[in-house]
Copies of this chain bind each other. A is one copy, B any other.
Amino acid sequence: MTEPASIAVDWGTSSFRLWLVDRAGQVLAERRSDEGMLAAAKAGFAAVLQSHLAAVEAPDHLPVLICGMAGARTGWVEAGYVDTPAPLAAVLQQAARVPGEARDIRILPGIAQRDASAPDVMRGEETQLVGALGLEAPGEALVCMPGTHSKWVRVTDGTVERFSTFMTGELFSVVSRETILSLAVAGAGDAEDIASFKTAVKAAYEAPAFAANLLFGARSRQLLFGGTPAAARETLSGTLIGTELAAGLSGGMPKAGITLVASGRLAALYRQAFDALSVAVTPIDADEAVRRGLSMAAAAIWTR
């Protein structure tokens, strides 16, 4: 068995993931919990991290590299931002050291777009970008990173030029739970309805201004024509994702096409959405991307 070389942590708003990795980035041990930033701010960041380090029996000398919301102002130690245009290599150079800890613990900064007409921030996705594209990928990439707050990122020769956040996932959550449409989707369970989803993606892509109308249509359709709760839920999902795609694809397609960085159900859903529009994508697993990004960053910081 190879020697552990560093510890990688993806510390988001509501989730915590830790990997013990060797010099080649191979995973030797893994921990997952829901002790994200919100929970850790109460329990104490140091205590949460220590409990997971103990669980994987991490040697005392191993350094820890963290990305994500632990570096926010409301996190453990504020890790600041690298401003756009942001070379991904610069992100690695500006990791903030956590003070008062014997162990070398650093938190990677986010990226800020300080454009008054399109202000935006990311924290965590920059590390996924490193893992997905590498530090110096030549040419132009358009990267779609779905989630609670989806990011669409243009990267040229390893530099993040522009990006846009869409609160698609969070909108889906509140629209399906907290509005009159909750009546239409009640009882949908896990049933899928790919045809309804794709129809909604196309409709919203073609007329994104009508998104708030297409959402309401899920209920009107049930009232007038019947239809399952699953069809209604997929209509909501497809409408919101189709609208996001209309915006994300509006800036023109790079020659290299689109890289989709996502995992699990979200990856499958977005692949279907792109498929509905006959747009080809290169899928990359988001979990793997963040782990690889953290390993590459650790190697750059501690192996000199």
A contact set with B: CB distance below 8 Å: 112-114, 116-121, 149, 164-168, 170-171, 174-175, 178-181, 203, 207-213, 215-217, 220-221, 223-225, 240, 243-244, 246-247, 250
Asked whether B178 lies within 8 Å of A174 as measured between CB atoms, the reply is yes
A-B contacts, 13 listed (Cβ < 8 Å): A116-B221, A119-B220, A119-B225, A120-B217, A165-B220, A167-B212, A171-B175, A171-B212, A174-B174, A174-B175, A178-B178, A208-B208, A210-B247
Asked whether A167 lies within 8 Å of B180 as measured between CB atoms, the reply is yes
Instruction: Give the nearest-CB partner of A150 in chain B.
Output: B212
Q: How far is the CB of A279 from chain B (nearest CB, A)?
A: 15
Q: How far is the CB of A50 from chain B (nearest CB, A)?
A: 29
Which residues of chain B have C-beta atoms less than 8 A from A175's C-beta?
171, 174
Which residues of chain B have C-beta atoms less than 8 A from A215's C-beta?
167
**A96→B175 CA distance, assembly (Å):** 33
Which residues of chain B have C-beta atoms less than 8 A from A243's C-beta?
209, 211-212
Asked whether A213 lies within 8 Å of B247 as measured between CB atoms, the reply is yes
* A224 partner, pick from B119, B166, B212, B247, beta carbons under 8 A: B119
Q: In terms of DSSP, what is the predominant structure of the interface of chain A?
A: helix
Which residues of chain B have C-beta atoms less than 8 A from A208's C-beta?
208-209, 211
Instruction: Give the nearest-CB partner of A115 in chain B.
Output: B224
**A240→B180 CA distance, assembly (Å):** 17
* Number of copies of this kind of chain in the complex: 2
Q: How far is the CB of A290 from chain B (nearest CB, A)?
A: 21
**A211→B171 CA distance, assembly (Å):** 11
Asked whether A174 lies within 8 Å of B166 as measured between CB atoms, the reply is no
Which residues of chain B have C-beta atoms less than 8 A from A250's C-beta?
207, 209
Which residues of chain B have C-beta atoms less than 8 A from A213's C-beta?
164-167, 247
Which residues of chain B have C-beta atoms less than 8 A from A244's C-beta?
209, 212
**A224→B115 CA distance, assembly (Å):** 9
Asked whether B209 lies within 8 Å of A247 as measured between CB atoms, the reply is yes
**A166→B181 CA distance, assembly (Å):** 12
**A116→B223 CA distance, assembly (Å):** 12
Asked whether A247 lies within 8 Å of B207 as measured between CB atoms, the reply is yes
Q: How far is the CB of A61 from chain B (nearest CB, A)?
A: 36
Query: Ordered nearest first, which 7 A-B pairs have the shortest CB separation?
Result: A208-B209, A209-B247, A209-B246, A119-B220, A166-B212, A119-B221, A174-B174
Q: How far is the CB of A15 from chain B (nearest CB, A)?
A: 16
Asked whether A170 lies within 8 Å of B164 as measured between CB atoms, the reply is no
Which residues of chain B have C-beta atoms less than 8 A from A207's C-beta?
247, 250
Instruction: Give the nearest-CB partner of A121 in chain B.
Output: B220
Which residues of chain B have C-beta atoms less than 8 A from A113's C-beta?
220
**A3→B166 CA distance, assembly (Å):** 59
